Each structure stands twice: as C-alpha cells, then as structure tokens.
Amino acid sequence: MVDVTAGLSAGEGASSSNAARWLAALTPAGVLAALEAEQDRWFLWLPVFLGAGIASYFQLSGEPHLLAALMPLPIALIISALWRQGSIAVMVTGILVAMALGFALAKVRTELIRAPVLERQFNFAEIRGFVELVEPRPTRGQRITLQLVSFAGLPAERRPHRVRVRTLSTLAGLKPGDGLRLKATLGPPGIPALPNDYDFARSAWYQRLGGIGYALAKPVRDDALGMPPLRLQFWATIERVRLAIGQRIGAGLPGESGQIAMGLITGERGGITQATNDAYRDSGLFHILSISGLHMVIMAGAIFWVIRASLALIPSIALRYPIKKIAAVGATVAALGYLLISGSSPATVRSWITISLMFFAMLLDRPAVSLRNVALSALMILVVFPETLFDVGFQMSYAAVVALVCAYEALRDREEARGGRTAERSQAMTAILFFGGIILTTLIASASVAPFAAYYFHKSQQYAVLANLIAIPICNIVVMPAALATLLFMPFGLEVLPLWVMGQGIDAMTAIAQRVARLPGAVGYIPAIPTVAFGLMVVGGLWLCLFRTRLRLAGLALIAAGLGAAPFRERPDILVGRDGALVAVRTASGVLSSLPARGGAFELTRWLEFEADARGAKLAATAEAFRCDGAGCTATVKGLTLAVATHPAALADDCARAHILVLSFPRPPGCIAAGSTVIDFFAARAAGTVALFIDNGQVRMTTVAQARGARPWARSRDVRRSILQRTATAARANSRLGAFASPFDLGDGDGLPRTDVDEDEDERGL
C-alpha cells in the first residue's frame, strides 16, 4: 500500500524547506551571497552606474563648478584603494567610481562643447558661413546647416558656431563645403512644451547648434569666404559622396520609393512625406526607415558571408588561413564605409561600434553576440558622448538589444544543457523557426521598448507583430541585399537593376505599413506616466536581464511596482503657454479645453499627447469650458475663478475677483488678484509653459524654467528688459515711417514665429 500520510508529510517538509530557503535568501546575508555568486556579471552593470552618474549631473538645477564636478572621482578612487577587503567592497567602491566618473565626464563634455547660443530672436539677420549639411524637404525648399563665419551685429564671442536654416526655395547644386550668404530670421533652439518634456535646446547644445530659423530670401553663394576649415573639408568630401549617391538613386528610382531607398542607403530621409512616416510609425515599422542595428547587421553580415564563402571556395586559402577572421576584418571595413555614407547619425554610430566589437570578438575567438560586448559598446559611447544617455534612440535601441541578447543567451544555454542540436532540421522546421524567430524577436523588442514608448511618445502600435512578421522578411531578403548590390554596382553604372528590385521591396513594405496603420485600433494612446514608474520599470528590466541566478526574479517585482505606479501621474488643472495666449483648463470630465490661440497648435498638440487625448488641437481648442466676451474669458476650475484678460478693459473686474489671472500683456501696477496668482506676458515668457495644480483651494505652480534649471542650454534671460529694448528700437524705427508699434505685438518673442517653416520634429522637440 502507498503511505499517503508519509507522502503528505514529505510534501509539507519540502514546502517548508523551500520557504526556509526563500526566507534565507531575503536576509542581508542571503542577498550578499547572491550578489557574490553573480561576480561574473558585475561588469555588465558598469555602464548602468556610469549612466547613473551622468544622469545625476543632468538632473541638477544649477551648473556645478568644474572643480566640484571633478572632485568626487579622486575621492572615490582613494576609497577604492583603501577599502579592498572582500568582494562586496570591490562592488561598492566600483559603483562609486563609476558614478563619479560619469558625473565628471558629463561636466567635461559640457565644457569642451561649449559654444554661444542666441539669446533672442534676430529678424533680417545677415549671416555668412560654410555649408555643413543640405537636407531636402518633402514639400519645398531645403534645410541647411551652416558653420558660421560672420553674423552681422554680433561680436565673435557671441556668434553661434553653427545654425540651421530652412529655405522655401531650392538652391540647385548646393553642396557641403560651399560658402553661403543669406538673410534669415533666427532664434534660440525651442524649449519644452511642458515641464520635464523633451528639451531640444539641450540636444542642440551638444551639437553646437546655437540658432534655428528660416531664410527670408533665396541664399546666395559666397565664394569670397575661400576654403573651409580642414575638418569641414574632410566631412564635406564625405557629404558630397553621399549627395552624389543620393542623386544617382533618385535618377534610377524616382518617386517616394527612391526617397525611401535614399534614406536606407545614405540616411537622408528628408524627402519622405509625413503621411508615409506616420504610416510606418503607426504600424510599428518606423525602425526600418532609420538606419540602425538592423541595417548594419544585414549589410556587414552580407559582406562577411560573401567574403567567407568566396575564400572557402579556394582550398589553398581555406586550409591555410583563418578565413573567418579575414571575413570579419573585411566586414568591419565595409561597416565603416556604410557608416560614413549613411550620414554617421548617432544611431548608426552606435550600431557600428556594437557590430565592430562583435567582429573583434571573432578575431579573439570569443563569442560574437554576448551581453559583455553590448555593455562594452554602451560604455564606449557613454565615455565619449555622455549626453547620449538622454537620446531616446540610445535608450530604446539598447533596451531592445539587451533584452534580445539576454533571451537568446537563455535559449542557447537551454539548448546546450539538452546536449545541443543533434539532428538536421527539415525545411519546414527551418521555415517555422525563421518566422517564429521574427515573432519572438518582435515580441521581446516590443515589450522591452514599451516603457520608453509610453514615457516619451505616449503611443503603442497594437499590430507591430503582424506588420513586422510580413515586412521584416522583405527587408532582410529583398530590400537590404538590393541596397548592398546597388552600392557595389554603382561605380560601374549598373545600379538601375538592383534599384528596381529594391523599389519593389520598398513598395511592398509601404503597402504593408499603410494597410496595417489603417486597421481599427492600430495605435493605442497612453497617458504620460510618472518618472518614478518609468525608472522602476527600466531598473527592473535591467535587473531581470543582467543577472543570471534567482536574484534576477527581483526584477519582476520592480517592473510590477513600476506598472502599479504608472497610472498615478499628477495632472495639471490649468496650463498656460509660453506667451500667455494659449490657456487650457481641465473640465469636469477630465479632458483639456483650450482657448483658440494663433500659433499655439504645437504646444496644445503636445499637451494632448501627454493626456493620451487623440482629439487633436482643433477639436480641443473650442473654449467649451470658458465664458468669453470681447475683453477676455473666464472659467471655474475646482471652485476657483480663472480669468484670461485679452484687453485692459477687463482688468478692473478681473484684478478684483479672479483667483487666477492670466494676461497676454504686461501686468499693470496694483493688479493683485484674489489668491495672488497672476501670470502676465513677461512671466509666461520667462517661465515657459506654466502648469497649475489646485489642491483644496490652494494653487501650486510648476514651470518649464524651474524644471530646466539654470544650465548652459537653459540660461535665464531678462525677458522684460530684452523685449522692452527691442520694442523701443522698433518704435523708433516705425516713428520715422509714421507708424506706431504696439509694445505687445511681438510675434514669438525670444522664440520663433510659428509658421510652417519651423515645424520639423527635431526642432520643435519631438
């Protein structure tokens, strides 16, 4: 007979033993033991803690002195030298050194890259400089990046190093390295549309981009400038090669398919229409349009395979020389060439570094695809370009790569534990594994980048798996091999046939993107999540991927905590735009209702994205929550009266009765509203977007200026004095013409007039 009682007792004993082991693992001694068991994985955390030090520098509200930024590093090194007893000491001091090094690197990089930034808008500015980059636009004109030589009215110490100008007409034959002269309206790079939103001005600082704007007339070549600097001559030569390749592609494959082919080969995507970009983005295929790891792997991998296969056909070489290593060297050189002709964008540079490390690992007979190589590439990038940490592309690409390598390492270890592959697979099984790999890769990559998409873009692509399952094989088998053949055949003038093949594949991918993007519910909208929730999910994901033992399961708890905290972001009750004209309030139903404001579409659209509100700026700007007359508008928000005065005639009542007063003109003396919350033209200009929160009748305010702090890319300016000086100058000029200039008709002030020429996503902060 079976002794059931004994069996139950044994089961209970095993359960008690497992519980005891789990409890022991949760004690400090158990955690330390688990960390010591992960010593071979500690290196993987080095770029993480280096990034933590970089992030701590950028989170400061004020700019530290150089000496103060450098001092923590020698202190950490001294602690590391004195405290060396035990592996835990090595781990703790290593963390301190990595964070101190990251902080110091970020500060040093900021100082090395320092260049003047325009402090205000300049109308009819006469500038001269050398062309660095020419980008066609999908509708009309060009976008030109200039390295400045002169800026009329500005001394050399205040002149930006480079500016970006949008033209409404195309200057035929314009090439990098050409001298150019033009008149333009120029202003400082755009500021965030909301507190803690993406800051394009910070990105522009590290590009030494001190001004953006638009040309007022067709640019004129300026041969009197002579030869450009040597460094610019080198890059101009490469840019001219890229331009020539792009022209050959456009001639051999006209239309938008040719523009997409140009983007995949040269990295120039300016000719792709917004509708096509949106279709690829909404279907989850936008990563195909941006040259990154996928394209670099296909190109370099194809070269590696071709070289190795060709050498293997020659026995005298294959039996005497390491053809795998020879192919790795050739593929590395080819990857460098692709990097140069593709525009050397940050994403492409990251991909080139990663794949070069993999080929270098082959030369050392080490595994090519490993988390150690991924960590090493991230470390190299962060040491040289610390600001890359806040590049969304950097974060998302490494999140996807880490998750994929971790998953496939686990699958590889599992297969090896089972004895490895013992039999040849049938063709059907190979096909199943191929498409299954695409699905698995898409699922893993989508899950790993989902927190970033929610935090930065507030969107999700519901049918990304379906779109990638169909489009990725076309890209891998047709489009990118044809792109490689195009580059190989182009010197012989034979690029038309591979371009035609490439065009067929591109047309198929575009059709898939458009069809999937039109499916009901293709795009999901996600409200902005708190930074704490985002941080918990990111740290939890890293913990889950970088550790190998049971300790990794703690990452699931962190991810769960982040998901639990995601819905609890505090939402503002009132938003005031940076010029005081755009005002939105939260209605009783929880959505934003805005006053119509000329030129406020970008800010309002961004506000709605944070709310996961798909109505669009036109539908939201209906003023349904306001009561308006000819002098202004009022609204009631959580029991408090908001008044938006557009004419001085409304001030008598508004100053006396309103709890919150917004003025689109300077505040007059003696105007104190009930509750003392007054936002006038100058306050809105100096603060940027103002977010107001109402709690039990008390008003709390957060501004873009507060969130940015006093940093080199966010220097506070005396807006009142600057505008009054310009107003006085304009008034004197107009008085000579018999006109009168209103001191409040100031266009876009210290920003740019909101016209269709400055709506590029990278300049407006998207």
CATH number for the domain including 181?
Answer: 2.40.50
Identity of residue 615: R
pLDDT confidence of residue 67: 94
**Tell me: the pLDDT tens digits for 89-133?**
888 899 999 999 999 999 999 999 999 999 888 999 999 999 998
Residue 729 lies in a domain: no
Pick from 112, 139, 159: which residue ends a domain? Answer: 112
Looking at the structure, tell me whether residues 622 and 694 fall in a common domain: yes
What's the structural domain count of the chain? Answer: 6
**Tell me: the pLDDT tens digits for 32-48?**
777 777 788 889 999 99
Q: List the beta strands (DSSP E) in 25-161.
A: 122-136, 142-151
Residue 95 lies in a domain: yes
Kind and range of the H or E run holding 220: strand 220-221
**DSSP 8-class letter at 453:** I
Looking at the structure, tell me whether residues 347 and 463 fall in a common domain: yes
Residue 292 lies in a domain: yes
Looking at the structure, tell me whether residues 311 and 432 fall in a common domain: yes
Terminal-to-terminal C-alpha distance of the chain:
73
Looking at the structure, tell me whether residues 465 and 607 fall in a common domain: no
**DSSP 8-class letter at 218:** -
Pick from 185, 210, 234: which residue ends a domain? Answer: 234
SS3 622: coil
The full 3-state SS of 718-731, as one line of letters, equals CHHHHHHHHHHHHH
Pick from 208, 234, 260: which residue ends a domain? Answer: 234
Burial class (CB in 10 A: 0-12, 13-18, 19+), 554: middle
Distance CA 149, CA 363 (A): 46
Looking at the structure, tell me whether residues 519 and 659 fall in a common domain: no
pLDDT confidence of residue 763: 43
Looking at the structure, tell me whether residues 194 and 223 fall in a common domain: yes
Burial class (CB in 10 A: 0-12, 13-18, 19+), 696: exposed
Tokens encoding 666: 């300077």
Which residue ranges in the chain fall short of pLDDT 50? 1-2, 4-6, 8, 718-766
Looking at the structure, tell me whether residues 309 and 366 fall in a common domain: yes
Residue 737 lies in a domain: no
The full 3-state SS of 384-446, as one line of letters, equals HCHHHHHCHHHHHHHHHHHHHHHHHHHHHHHHHHCCCCCCCCCHHHHHHHHHHHHHHHHHHHH
Residue 488 lies in a domain: yes
Looking at the structure, tell me whether residues 173 and 184 fall in a common domain: yes
Distance CA 251, CA 273 (A): 18
Looking at the structure, tell me whether residues 97 and 87 fall in a common domain: yes
Domain, as residue range, for 357: 245-417+427-525
Closest by CA position to 267, among listed 358, 133, 381: 133
Residue 441 lies in a domain: yes
DSSP of 646-694, one letter per residue? Answer: SSGGGHHHHHHH-SEEEESSPPPTT---TTSEEE-HHHHHHH-SEEEEE
Residue 722 lies in a domain: no
Distance CA 51, CA 395 (A): 11
Looking at the structure, tell me whether residues 72 and 208 fall in a common domain: no
Looking at the structure, tell me whether residues 217 and 73 fall in a common domain: no
Burial class (CB in 10 A: 0-12, 13-18, 19+), 82: exposed
Looking at the structure, tell me whether residues 392 and 260 fall in a common domain: yes
Residue 219 lies in a domain: yes
